[in-house]
Structure 1
């Protein structure tokens, strides 16, 4: 690509950061996808937006998640433009063997038997939330259902007191925004980086104190289990325990909030879909999968080439960054029939919303369960619900989601 072409690519990608495109980024994703892979030599980054290319990157054994393998990051570290990594990252941002070791310990909280055992509790939580909504006669589906449900569940699994939710919610939201590829796209530091770093430091301190309390008084939760694993010789450090809990606390609710809300909004926009689920709760699973494809909670991910790679017709040098626009890939007409339509009768189409390979989302069964129960019960309880106001979106690009979704019940 010529230098002018790279500049055009950067300008196009910068539109993804524009809040004006947050409510509907899909026309922009379609424009990018039609251009094919975008090469940005100055950033040492290639942007992929087709399903085939994104799928190939996620499957490649040399597709890495550790940002320290990025040539640009190494250049910034060498020049002093970026401070050394001071905190242990969550295992989502590590590669084997560290990723394997930490994930293996964390996945015990999401084992199929644990998720199945949670179903009656989640069912009861949904009923309580819907009862409260019924008393008022209207609701903000974010504040009244999509947010409190997954927060309560992940707090229950980790052992984080749900009464502390007001303390950690704003910090977690700021940390989630740090996933947006602002520097990779603009070439300039994120102007809010310091605020997000401070929020992350506070959240780690909060979790560190909680870990020390569990060390003194263990309970039946994941924090206590991780501490026990450390003492059994799995060599978890205190920083690794905090980083794992930090990742699961944020990833364990932010994405599920978006999944529930995006599905509800799409059905409210097409009342026939809402009525169909109200009449037949078995449709909930199909609606969840179609939402994951059509309006995914995670819109994009980054990978680093751990070796020289070839993706499709593109050569990627070792150390280069690959930006995968999953939200574009999952409306790729080369992969899906009538890709731009939300269809209840779509055959079980494969999607990339939970990732692939070693980084496949370990919380996927829990997220699916929470969303199915919430949506089936919501539509059955309020079969004539309708949108009450225009929805409002959070500023997030990567974890794009609704801030409010007002409905009349």
Structure 2
């Protein structure tokens, strides 16, 4: 099949979410494993193939560092970006971080997460409407992470610039999977500023450790090994990105979906215990991650297509999560869907380390907003993120009827 001539390459698709959903649907049927001449990469669209690839880190590597020269400052923070590593480096870093970021640490955060959520909603309570992203979905995870690391919230705008630089990596609106060296060079000033900021904090915590996460990372030890300063820096950067992208995007998506699907918010108000199941369905139906990249370490056959070694595969997680072969009525939001084995938070050794915290933040934010309101809906012009980069909103104004 000549994908370029039939308009099925990524570069042929408009950067609009509904258009991408239609493309994914066509490709799942017509070319579930396809080579993109324009990008020089492969696409994967079906759930079964995506799940198998994400679970096989030996054949499908997450380490893409060899594909492009990394500028100096980006290379420094990349030393701790273990989500993009393979074993044994991945195993070493993840095990050390896991010892500091334990389930008990996350569970202990619940009262504080709820208090922060209540304070943010107190600030807008009684008003006829508010903008959800700037007033709740963005500051909530940022404040939680700032407290977890004991860094001042006065620097929140800098954190946002750094998180955006790390996540978007200078791609702009280009349909590029692996950023070019020039793109990475364009974010060097922001990355350099972030590196200096966190390396200074890490140095302070090494000399005067406290109970915060950075201090725990500085002293944690497994089999006689500790994290280097640059590795802790990479973890701090990862937390900024994960908090900013996962919770902000998914919470915005959840409220947008509840606002546009009649009866869903009413059902959850009547049965708050169903909120965790609804969160999983939001992650499946409209999670934050459109795709994840992998590199083949050997020649491999996937769904009757032979892919050479050293090729980049773009695994369309969002397409896999809408695959009717895996999910009955896949294109319908079913807040009671169970089981729900979506891939929005990863699979295998790269399953999201912060998933329990992200789920907690989603649950508490929905509980508090639904408890305080009789009704809410879209209250103005929406502004969406480029769905080739992330699935979510920059702006979500709501009109609100509050409970008295």
TM over 0.5: yes
Report what 1:32 is aligned to.
27
The verdict on how the C-alpha distance between 1:92 and 1:332 changes in structure 2, with shifts beyond 3 A counting, is: same
Displacement of 1:88 = 4.8
Higher helix share: 1
Aligned with residue 324 of structure 2, among 324, 329, 333: 333
1:138–1:407 contact (8 Å) kept in structure 2: yes
Residue deviations 1:145-171, cap 9 Å, x none?
Answer: 111111111222223322211222122
Report what 2:50 is aligned to.
54
2:274–2:336 contact (8 Å) kept in structure 1: no
SS at match of 1:397: coil
Aligned with residue 142 of structure 1, among 118, 133, 152: 133
Aligned with residue 221 of structure 1, among 209, 212, 221: 212
The verdict on how the C-alpha distance between 1:221 and 1:248 changes in structure 2, with shifts beyond 3 A counting, is: same
Displacement of 1:12 = 3.0
2:62–2:294 contact (8 Å) kept in structure 1: yes
Give the aligned length: 395
Displacement of 1:121 = 1.1
Residue deviations 1:258-282, cap 9 Å, x none?
Answer: 1111111100102311111122111
2:77–2:195 contact (8 Å) kept in structure 1: no
2:206–2:215 contact (8 Å) kept in structure 1: yes
Aligned with residue 68 of structure 1, among 65, 69, 81: 65
Displacement of 1:377 = 1.4
Structure 2, unmatched stretches of 5+, are: none
SS at match of 2:42: strand
Q: Give distance in 2, aligned partners of 1:188 and 1:52.
A: 27
Displacement of 1:61 = 3.6
Aligned with residue 94 of structure 2, among 97, 103, 108: 103
Matched, 1:14 2:11: yes
Q: Give distance in 2, aligned partners of 1:297 and 1:222.
A: 25
RMSD (Å) for aligned C-alpha atoms? 2.7
Q: Give distance in 2, aligned partners of 1:190 and 1:379.
A: 45
2:219–2:226 contact (8 Å) kept in structure 1: no
Q: Give distance in 2, aligned partners of 1:188 and 1:117.
A: 38
TM-score scaled to structure 2, two decimals? Answer: 0.89
SS at match of 2:151: coil
Between 1:215-224 and 1:333-342, the stretch displaced more is: 215-224
Q: Give distance in 1, aligned partners of 2:229 and 2:130.
A: 41
TM-score scaled to structure 1, two decimals? Answer: 0.88
Report what 2:112 is aligned to.
121
1:182–1:189 contact (8 Å) kept in structure 2: no
